Amino acid sequence: AGTLHVVATPIGHLGDLSPRALEVLRTVDLVCAEDTRHTRQLLAHFGVEQALQALHQHNEDTQAANLVERLRAGESMALVSDAGTPLVSDPGFRLIRAAREAGIRVSPVPGACAAIAALSVAGLASDRFAFEGFLPAKAGARRDRLVRLAGEPRTLVFYESAHRIVECLDDMAAVFGRERPAVLARELTKLFETVLDGPLGTLLERVEADADQRKGEFVLVVQGAGEDGEAQVAEGRRVYALLAPHLP
Ligand code: SAM
């Protein structure tokens, strides 16, 4: 049977594609990509032409069985997403699970990951952390999630997109408290890379005051509740009770 390589691609700077990633992408029989146009461009930049197969949230279930069959028959494959590490807030979980169940060798080619890149420059406790990915889009569900996290002692890592960054900081300041230290990492490895640190209340003010700071892609790293976790949970519940009547 062939091997399924899970290959990290850059989160911005193309120099972050590793030589081994390039070699694997060049030599496999098939590259499974979240968005084939996006990956074709990336490969073209490196002078690579490859057979591509789309694998995204809408076809992953149906494609997984077919791809595992081809792996069984001896084809080698690479799985990539649009940016960073596949399966980290990206498709691939079902394919990997199906491949493992079929006894296929699954091998990582590690590289960029926005969450880890942000954590590595945040200067917040990094010995233990909780990756929370994207918060729910709806305000009620988002605040509910934040209330549940208010007492979490580990450093929290969130992904956020440009159109919800202000709402997200606003809710965090309300639920975690305006004084909770945090780091907002924007456009990492790209031209407008910015890493802001400060209490949540201050970060909110800076982002509200400067439209440029609302552009691009974000990782939010938030200090954990620390020793006083119980008190934080109680405070979160109190704030939520205040907010609840105003929720949509
Ligand atoms: N698989 C990717 C990884 O390994 O980081 C994450 C994919 S997820 C769909 C996209 C989100 O990751 C963005 O909304 C943003 O929160 C974060 N992200 C990706 N690239 C980033 C960058 N260059 N700077 C800051 N955040 C980034």
Task: Choose between 242 and 126: higher pLDDT.
Answer: 126
> What confidence category does residue 227 fall into, taking pLDDT thresholds of 50, 70 and 90?
low
Ligand 1, atom 20, lies closest to the CA of 11
- The 10s digit of each residue's pLDDT in 136-193 is 999 999 999 999 999 999 999 999 999 999 999 999 999 999 999 999 999 999 999 9
CB of 80 shorter than 6 A to ligand 1: no
CB of 185 shorter than 6 A to ligand 1: yes
In the structure encoding, which two tokens stand for residue 197, read together?
A: 């640190």
Nearest Cα neighbor of 93 from 136, 60, 116 is 60
Ligand 1, atom 11, lies closest to the CA of 159
CB of 76 shorter than 6 A to ligand 1: no
CB of 160 shorter than 6 A to ligand 1: yes
Question: ipTM greater than 0.90, yes or no?
Answer: yes
Burial track 173-194 (b if 16+ CB lie within 10 A, e otherwise)? bbbbbeebbbbbbbbbbeeeeb
Ligand 1, atom 2, lies closest to the CA of 84
CB of 114 shorter than 6 A to ligand 1: yes
- What was the pLDDT predicted at 173? 97
Number of C-beta neighbours around residue 40 at 10 A: 16
Strands, sheet with 217-222, edge to edge from the N-terminal-most edge strand: 129-134, 155-161, 217-222, 181-186, 194-199
CB of 38 shorter than 6 A to ligand 1: no
> What confidence category does residue 248 fall into, taking pLDDT thresholds of 50, 70 and 90?
low
What is the chain's mean pLDDT, rounded?
Answer: 95
- The 10s digit of each residue's pLDDT in 1-43 is 999 999 999 999 999 999 999 999 999 999 999 999 999 999 9
Q: Report the residue among 89, 189, 196 best suited for mutation to probe ligand 1: largest number of ligand atoms under 8 A from its CB.
A: 89
Which of ligand 1's atoms lies nearest the C-alpha of 114? Answer: 5
CB of 9 shorter than 6 A to ligand 1: no
Q: Cα of 159 to ligand 1 centre, how many Å?
A: 7
- Are the beta carbons of 206 and 213 closer than 8 angstroms? yes
